């Protein structure tokens, strides 16, 4: 059955048999006693504690192993009795490509989701579905504690594992002969999880008509993909994108199926395979090892879930029209520069500055960028590269996206600006500042990647965290982040481009974001 048919079938289902029992029916909401709920497939036994009922490791699709590798997701097997839902499921296969962002895994039995709900039984709560980041080659739902969002906003949060890397975003000529949608298996997993939410979230007290899809980094990029994917229509009502950026993707689309198949062919050769039987027999750890030499990500074109050109869809209005909350961190790509320093053990030096810019942006663009971001004007070469990569790759792309969307849908844009934000990664030769991922600990308490150090927030930062959770959950409930006791967050317009600065101690509206990040220069470079 195609994804399109599955989407249509969601709305023909009646969910009368799923009844929320919750902690109120099973025991105290604060003593860690079981919470029970019935869903498609059987009964779940979660845990209710501190006002939150948690159901972890719920199978939403069959393990994509053997013949199901590189196939659209299929229904999981039902179970008898009460399934223990107190522990997270396996993370999908991945290596260490993102440093401490997520832990390595080689287990393909990984298509699990988690539901975090208020422990008191109620109905029609707003739902946030969270797609983890990780460059589309890593990431795991196990790293996000959703209890703060649940308690602050009285919402339900669902976090989802999806296939990543070569196992999640793979195209190969022989797959065409199998006559199924191909390439974006990780995105198909997300669509399948959203269908599970439509069928089952009412059992937890959630409203299937009020679902917000949300993600950070690559997770935000998949949210963008759902906005232009026809088969994702009607599966969500709002969208949150943290640090989606990437002007080359948002402007020019994603690699076509032909380009992706060429990459897949080179991957198969490197793995020693000449057909699908060999590829499907490869051990998962072998796939992860070989994929490190290639770039796997979203694929567009015929027989895939998404169109090729994002920019064309956004400017023409041919996308799924929903309210949008989006933004970036002030020093986004210092995170990437820091990873390079941690991996090499050496800070970037001035004599390697030009080569670093050329490696990131290409030799054609490098001279203009090097002239615009002269290394001598920065405290260190690392900060020069981090600023150039932040502005061109993240900040101005997000601003341009807001410009494109705001004429048709409500858009709220932010910049995370806490200069003293704690960082879970090891120290490097320059300050991280509000780098990539650092806002996550303000929404998911004590976020520290897969194996980073826990760095508690200060009391002032905890106040900001509470406000951010309120903004995010207000938006999920109504499409507007504003609420009582919160600094006003104006709707974005292309005319004056208001951006809410999320800083300590104050949150203020700025209108010079484009100047801060030299977006006029980048508009010329990217030729939108």
CA dist 39 and 41 (Å) reads 6
- CB-side neighbour CA atoms (13 Å) of 33: 12
Helix and strand totals (H; E) in the chain: 20, 15
Q: Is 375 left (phi over 0), alpha (psi -120 to 50) or beta?
A: alpha
Per-position b or e across 185-210, b if 16+ CB within 10 A of its CB: bbbbbbbbbbbbbbbbbbbbbbbbeb
Catalytic status, residue 140? no
- Of 54, 493, 482, 475, the residue nearest 46 (C-alpha): 54
Phi–psi pair at 489, nearest 5 degrees: -115, 105
Q: What CA–CA distance (Å, rounded) separates 261 from 264?
A: 5
The single residue of 26, 217, 243, 336 carrying the catalytic annotation is 217
- Residues near 327 by Cβ (< 8 Å), separated by ≥ 6? 242, 243, 398, 413, 414, 415, 416, 499, 500, 502
| Tokens representing residue 51 in the block | 């006002």
Tell me which residue of 46, 60, 19, 54 sits closest to 149, measured CA to CA: 54
Residue of 526, 106, 500 lying closest to 288 (CA atoms): 106
Active-site residue list? 217
């Amino acid at each position: 059955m195609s994804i399109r048919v599955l989407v249509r079938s969601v709305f023909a289902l009646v969910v009368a048999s799923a009844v929320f029992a919750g902690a109120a029916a099973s025991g105290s909401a604060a003593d860690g006693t079981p919470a029970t709920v019935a869903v498609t497939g059987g009964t779940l036994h979660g845990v209710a504690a501190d006002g939150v009922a948690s159901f972890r490791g719920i199978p939403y699709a069959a393990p994509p192993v053997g013949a199901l590798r590189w196939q659209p997701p299929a229904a999981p097997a039902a179970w008898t009795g009460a399934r223990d839902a107190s522990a997270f499921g396996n993370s999908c296969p991945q290596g260490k490509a993102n440093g401490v962002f997520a832990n390595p895994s080689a287990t393909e039995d990984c298509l699990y989701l988690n539901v975090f709900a208020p422990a008191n039984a109620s109905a029609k709560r707003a739902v946030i579905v969270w797609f983890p980041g990780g460059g589309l080659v890593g990431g795991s739902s196990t790293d996000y504690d959703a209890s703060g969002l649940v308690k602050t906003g009285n919402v339900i949060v669902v976090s989802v594992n999806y296939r990543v890397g070569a196992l999640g975003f793979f195209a190969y000529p022989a797959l065409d002969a199998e006559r199924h949608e191909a390439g974006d298996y990780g995105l198909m997993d997300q669509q399948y999880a959203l269908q599970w939410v439509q069928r089952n979230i009412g059992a937890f007290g959630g409203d299937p008509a009020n679902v917000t899809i949300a993600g950070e980094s690559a997770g935000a990029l998949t949210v963008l993909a759902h906005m232009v994917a026809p088969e994702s229509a009607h599966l969500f009502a709002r969208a949150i994108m943290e640090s989606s950026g990437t002007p080359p993707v948002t402007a020019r689309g994603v690699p076509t199926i032909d380009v992706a198949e060429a990459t897949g062919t080179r991957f198969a050769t490197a793995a020693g395979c000449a057909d699908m039987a060999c590829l499907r027999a490869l051990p998962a750890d072998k796939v992860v090892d070989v994929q490190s030499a290639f770039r796997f990500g979203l694929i567009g074109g015929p027989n895939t879930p998404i169109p090729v050109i994002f920019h064309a869809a956004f400017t023409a209005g041919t996308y799924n029209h929903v309210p949008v909350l989006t933004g970036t961190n002030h020093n986004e790509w210092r995170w990437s520069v820091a990873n390079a320093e941690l991996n090499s053990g050496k800070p970037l030096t001035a004599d390697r500055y030009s080569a670093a810019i050329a490696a990131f942006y290409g030799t054609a663009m490098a001279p203009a960028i090097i002239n615009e971001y002269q290394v001598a004007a920065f405290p260190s070469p690392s900060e020069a590269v981090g600023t150039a990569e932040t502005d061109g790759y993240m900040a101005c792309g997000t601003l341009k996206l807001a410009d494109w969307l705001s004429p048709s849908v409500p858009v709220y844009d932010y910049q995370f600006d806490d200069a003293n934000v704690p960082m879970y990664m090891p120290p490097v030769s320059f300050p991280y500042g509000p780098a990539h991922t650092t806002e996550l600990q303000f929404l998911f308490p004590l976020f520290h990647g897969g194996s980073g150090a826990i760095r508690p927030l200060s009391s002032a930062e905890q106040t900001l965290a509470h406000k951010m959770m309120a903004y995010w959950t207000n938006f999920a409930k109504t499409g507007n982040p504003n609420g009582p006791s919160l600094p006003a967050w104006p709707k974005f317009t292309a005319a004056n481009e208001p951006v809410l600065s999320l800083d300590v101690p104050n949150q203020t509206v700025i209108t010079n974001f484009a100047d801060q990040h030299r977006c006029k220069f980048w508009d010329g470079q990217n030729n939108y």
